[in-house]
Amino acid sequence: MAKPDVSYVKKTMAEIVGFISSAMEKIDDEQVERMIKTLIDAYNKGNKVLVMGAGRSGLVARAFAMRLMHLGFHVYVLGETITPSIGNGDAVVAISGSGTTRLIVTAAETAKRNGAKIIAITSYPESDLGKLADIVVVVPGRTKKAPPYIDYFSRQILGIHEPLAPLGTLFEDTTVVFLDGVIVELMRRLGKTEEDLTQKHANVEL
Amino acid sequence: MAKPDVSYVKKTMAEIVGFISSAMEKIDDEQVERMIKTLIDAYNKGNKVLVMGAGRSGLVARAFAMRLMHLGFHVYVLGETITPSIGNGDAVVAISGSGTTRLIVTAAETAKRNGAKIIAITSYPESDLGKLADIVVVVPGRTKKAPPYIDYFSRQILGIHEPLAPLGTLFEDTTVVFLDGVIVELMRRLGKTEEDLTQKHANVEL
Amino acid sequence: MAKPDVSYVKKTMAEIVGFISSAMEKIDDEQVERMIKTLIDAYNKGNKVLVMGAGRSGLVARAFAMRLMHLGFHVYVLGETITPSIGNGDAVVAISGSGTTRLIVTAAETAKRNGAKIIAITSYPESDLGKLADIVVVVPGRTKKAPPYIDYFSRQILGIHEPLAPLGTLFEDTTVVFLDGVIVELMRRLGKTEEDLTQKHANVEL
Amino acid sequence: MAKPDVSYVKKTMAEIVGFISSAMEKIDDEQVERMIKTLIDAYNKGNKVLVMGAGRSGLVARAFAMRLMHLGFHVYVLGETITPSIGNGDAVVAISGSGTTRLIVTAAETAKRNGAKIIAITSYPESDLGKLADIVVVVPGRTKKAPPYIDYFSRQILGIHEPLAPLGTLFEDTTVVFLDGVIVELMRRLGKTEEDLTQKHANVEL
């Protein structure tokens, strides 16, 4: 039997890993510091953190929320059952690569009007979400709208620098890894160990 | 003002990126080929794909499901509202780093008894989930149970090779990137372009 | 031991049951007919149905979606993982007692702009949601804003006709029962039996 | 135009309302008292309440959880993002008409092993769920397995007392109304007014 050709799996993985590595260098430490300070401030005062994102960005938001819960934050996810009211002193983490996802912009506006501090994670600081946010962390990515000139795989062969990974993938995967980095920084600052996280980790789960 | 020290954010990102790069080399092409053939077979026959995972692995499963939907698969997520019955010819993608998450093993057993083919994504092929699966793709990771000998940050300083990224992070992030690679391989084989995905992408979303 | 006094449980149940009974008489058959025809039209043409609602109304929407799935509809829930794009010929069922829930109005507007037909279930046909909808089914309820003059339980004692059931409860519970009625009417028209529903019912579920 | 015939909508609504009314009489006050005491005990001690159910029973569980959150409970839903570990002193509310839903029984067992007190809401106290529970509240219903002898609508005509409402509908709708009754009893005992609930109600919601 011939060796199976699954080469696009690893080509894509290499592309994503390469993208994250170079994106990492572009993330601004001052912006990250402001985000972390706002989160720690909410933690210390027992205030709430609400995370939100549409589609795959919403899943990235949830992965972050789960670890914030393990760290002892009062964290909630937009659209889940037990999400309470938010207001003064609370923080919102809104994730949108394009910064234009309408329901997220609408929700962030409402949260801001209720007194919450908005942290936007986006590739476009000049977007609607970026502009309304109190703190913007720019995570490089690619918008969903790629020009449909020519066939997708041809672009690679022609050397047109369209990524293999479609739509928002590069932004989403970079943000997953970035937020996991933020978690470790939070662990260090709050003096939390992995054992502390394990104590909070769901023991009845799906 | 002194430059902010958010160094653990990028140290952790570098660790995760390094881990994914080396994990990538260890993923077995034959296993991946079997997974992809099973998925394409379900696609061609109009059969269902059910994805499942607990906790953050469940979010990874959802991120994969969303792209499978964009590709035109009949894909469902365990625990969501409109998940129908599954049976002969259907495929299950069950994600569990340890392969022991009880509700996932239970759900996968039930699915298997109903005639579905089980694809396990796990670090432990000898786990309960690995053993009951028809196809196992081993994605390197680290179990959730690290020995609690010594303080978490001390371990790094002592050079004990405990990762910075806590709990299942390395498995989860590697699996996110791996499954995004699988999506591109599926795009190539099914002749789907990014424009095809955009057509299916939710236009009313949260 | 004295008999336990859990009398408010049953007083409230009686109130809710009484409310549903009288609300039932006020639901307009023509409106219901229009809703059912739109749904059956989507079913016959293989078009999609997207359900949406915020908070408890969102749960009512999901309970309805689950039965539509059992009936063989291509039904999706706003905010869940595999919800695809919607467009011409698709139907939206948007549930909001007040008809003013901002994210639902925003989502319904977007769906309408994409060509979907909007069915609103609301107590207020003159609300934003009611006005943008193609079909409105008025289900009696009570808005969330009750005047806070006096103590909650005192109002009952004083005979002020505030319901025991707080906030949107009366609307939500009436809508649950109404939509379960719609399901049986759909069963009859589509010639579906309970056995047909059982075939589709999730056999691996959470 | 002839008057539309949507008569099964209201026949079914009348059936459900009639069922709830008679089910109400059969719910045992002592069982309800035990449930309420356990919940209030968790509230007073700041312990957690975890709700769970599969399929539509899971939606009923969420509707209850949302109100418990409005009342100030530390309540979580199995399968949602921020559900933490549970243990001694925590309470579980597990909803299953048949009491045999495998993932719920498995989850309840795990919770019990971790020290939580299990409250089962079921029609079958002798079921697996009923037997492992510390407290059982019997809510009348009908199991999902109806004998498929004869055509569904014929049964009604023949006067065979098969309900119009299919599958678990009668149990689910009765449980919705029952738990809304429990909420009002909890309001009374905790001295909470509707305004208190409004304070906690999500102000950014989907």
Backbone dihedral region for residue C117 (phi beyond 0: left; psi -120 to 50: alpha; all else: beta):
beta
Q: pLDDT tens for residues B42-63?
A: 999 999 999 999 999 999 999 9
- Amino acid identity of residue C118, one-letter, is I
Number of other residues whose CB lies within 10 A of the CB of residue D110: 17
| Contact list, B103 vs chain A (CB under 8 Å) | 205-206
Pair B94, B121: CB distance under 8 Å? yes
Q: pLDDT tens for residues C156-186?
A: 555 556 788 999 999 999 999 999 999 999 9
pLDDT at residue B94, rounded to an integer: 98
Backbone dihedral region for residue C50 (phi beyond 0: left; psi -120 to 50: alpha; all else: beta):
beta
| Contact list, B50 vs chain C (CB under 8 Å) | 204
| pLDDT at D41 exceeding the cut of 50 | yes
Within an 8 Å CB–CB cutoff, is residue B20 touching chain A? Answer: yes
Q: Give the residue from chain A lying closest to C55, CA to CA.
A: A81
Compare CB distances from D82 to A77, A85, A111 and report the shortest one's residue: A77
| Contact list, D54 vs chain C (CB under 8 Å) | 202, 205-206
- What is the percent of chain A where pLDDT is above 90? 82
pLDDT at residue A158, rounded to an integer: 54
Pair C91, C68: CB distance under 8 Å? no
Compare CB distances from B103 to A103, A173, A205 and report the shortest one's residue: A205
Provide the terminal-to-terminal Cα distance of chain D, rounded to the nearest Å: 39
Give me the sign of the Cα torsion angle C36, C37, C43, C46: negative
pLDDT at residue A162, rounded to an integer: 76
> Nearest CA to CA, how far is D149 from chain A (Å)?
37
What CA–CA distance (Å, rounded) separates D85 from D50? Answer: 10
| pLDDT at A152 exceeding the cut of 90 | no
| pLDDT at D205 exceeding the cut of 80 | no
CA distances from A189 to A44, A184, B6, D23 (A): 12, 9, 10, 55
What CA–CA distance (Å, rounded) separates D188 from D198? Answer: 16
| φ, ψ for residue D2, nearest 5 deg | -65, 150
Q: Average pLDDT in the A149-161 region?
A: 55
| C-alpha gyration radius of chain B | 18
Compare CB distances from C77 to B82, B86, B200 and report the shortest one's residue: B82
CB within 8 Å of B106: residues ≥ 6 apart: D102, D103, D106
Catalytic residue among D25, D80, D172, D185: D172
- Which residues in D163-177 are b (16+ Cβ under 10 Å) and which e? bbbbbbbbbbbbbbb
CA distances from A137 to A32, A95, B172 (A): 6, 10, 23
The verdict on a CB contact (< 8 Å) between A106 and C110 is: no
Q: Give the residue from chain C lying closest to A57, CA to CA.
A: C81
What is A72-113 written as a DSSP string?
T-EEEETTSTT-----TT-EEEEE-SSS--HHHHHHHHHHHH
- Amino acid identity of residue C185, one-letter, is E
pLDDT at residue B147, rounded to an integer: 46
Q: Is B54 exposed, middle or buried (0-12, 13-18, 19+ CB in 10 A)?
A: buried
What CA–CA distance (Å, rounded) separates B15 from D100? Answer: 45
CA distances from B97 to B127, B136, C10, C125, D56 (A): 10, 12, 48, 51, 30
Q: List the helix and strand counts (H, then E) for chain A.
A: 8, 5
Restricting to A residues 149-178, those with a Cβ less than 8 Å away from any Cβ of B are: 151-153, 162, 164-167, 169, 172-173, 176-178
Catalytic residue among B80, B172, B185, B195: B172
Q: Average pLDDT in the D188-203 region?
A: 92
Q: Is A63 exposed, middle or buried (0-12, 13-18, 19+ CB in 10 A)?
A: buried
Spans in chain B with pLDDT lower than 70: 1-2, 143-161, 206
pLDDT at residue D163, rounded to an integer: 84
What CA–CA distance (Å, rounded) separates C193 from B154? Answer: 65
The verdict on a CB contact (< 8 Å) between B184 and A27 is: no
Q: Average pLDDT in the A107-134 region?
A: 97
CA distances from B150 to B11, B147, C165 (A): 21, 8, 53
| pLDDT at A173 exceeding the cut of 60 | yes
| Contact list, B13 vs chain A (CB under 8 Å) | 20, 24, 177-178, 180-181
pLDDT category of residue A148 using cuts at 50, 70 and 90: very low
Q: Which residue has the higher pLDDT, A145 or A54?
A: A54
pLDDT at residue C153, rounded to an integer: 62
What is C57-91 written as a DSSP string?
HHHHHHHHHHHHHHTT-EEEETTSTT-----TT-E
> What is the token pair recorded at C68?
């539509």
| The pairing of beta strand B91-95 with beta strand B117-122 | parallel
What CA–CA distance (Å, rounded) separates D18 from D3? Answer: 26
The CATH topology of domain D31-190 is Rossmann fold (3.40.50)
| φ, ψ for residue A51, nearest 5 deg | -105, 150
pLDDT at residue C160, rounded to an integer: 58
pLDDT at residue C2, rounded to an integer: 67
pLDDT at residue C147, rounded to an integer: 46
Beta bridge partners of B53: B95
What CA–CA distance (Å, rounded) separates C94 from B156? Answer: 53
Within an 8 Å CB–CB cutoff, is residue A84 touching chain C? Answer: no
Compare CB distances from C169 to D103, D166, D180 and report the shortest one's residue: D180
Pair D151, C188: CB distance under 8 Å? no
| pLDDT at D28 exceeding the cut of 80 | yes
Provide the terminal-to-terminal Cα distance of chain B, rounded to the nearest Å: 39
pLDDT at residue A42, rounded to an integer: 98
Number of other residues whose CB lies within 10 A of the CB of residue A181: 27
> What is the token pair recorded at A106?
């609408």
- For the question of residue B25 being annotated catalytic, the response is no
| Contact list, D51 vs chain B (CB under 8 Å) | none
pLDDT at residue C138, rounded to an integer: 97
The verdict on a CB contact (< 8 Å) between B86 and C200 is: no
Beta bridge partners of D53: D95
Q: How many residues does chain D have?
A: 206
Nearest to C84 by CA among C64, C59, C111: C111
> Nearest CA to CA, how far is C115 from chain A (Å)?
17
CB within 8 Å of D42: residues ≥ 6 apart: D48, D49, D73, D74, D89, D90, D91
| The pairing of beta strand B135-138 with beta strand B91-95 | unpaired
pLDDT at residue A157, rounded to an integer: 56
Edge-first strand listing for the sheet containing A135-138: A74-77, A48-53, A91-95, A117-122, A135-138
What CA–CA distance (Å, rounded) separates A197 from A177? Answer: 18
| The pairing of beta strand D48-53 with beta strand C117-122 | unpaired
What is D95-157 written as a DSSP string?
E-SSS--HHHHHHHHHHHHTTPEEEEEES-TTSHHHHH-SEEEE-----S----SS-HHHHHH
What CA–CA distance (Å, rounded) separates B56 from B169? Answer: 8
| Contact list, D155 vs chain C (CB under 8 Å) | none
Residue ranges of domains in chain D: 31-190
CB within 8 Å of B25: residues ≥ 6 apart: none
**CB–CB contacts below 8 A, A to D:** 89
**DSSP state letter for A118:** E
pLDDT category of residue D76 using cuts at 50, 70 and 90: very high
pLDDT at residue D146, rounded to an integer: 43
Spans in chain C with pLDDT lower than 70: 1-2, 143-161, 206
| Contact list, C110 vs chain A (CB under 8 Å) | 102
Mutate to test the interface with C, among B77, B81, B113, B203 (most CBs of C within 10 A): B81
Mutate to test the interface with C, among D7, D70, D192, D194 (most CBs of C within 10 A): D194
pLDDT at residue A3, rounded to an integer: 74
Q: pLDDT tens for residues D110-164?
A: 999 999 999 999 999 999 999 999 999 999 997 444 444 445 555 555 555 678 8
Provide the terminal-to-terminal Cα distance of chain A, rounded to the nearest Å: 39
Q: Where are the beta strands (DSSP E) in B36-152?
A: 48-53, 74-77, 91-95, 117-122, 135-138
Give me the sign of the Cα torsion angle C79, C83, C88, C89: negative
pLDDT at residue A206, rounded to an integer: 59
CB within 8 Å of D26: residues ≥ 6 apart: D138, D140
Compare CB distances from C69 to B50, B84, B111 and report the shortest one's residue: B84
Q: Which residue has the higher pLDDT, B112 or A154?
A: B112
Compare CB distances from A110 to D81, D114, D204 and report the shortest one's residue: D204
What CA–CA distance (Å, rounded) separates B20 from A205? Answer: 26
Provide the 3-class DSSP secondary structure of residue B71. coil
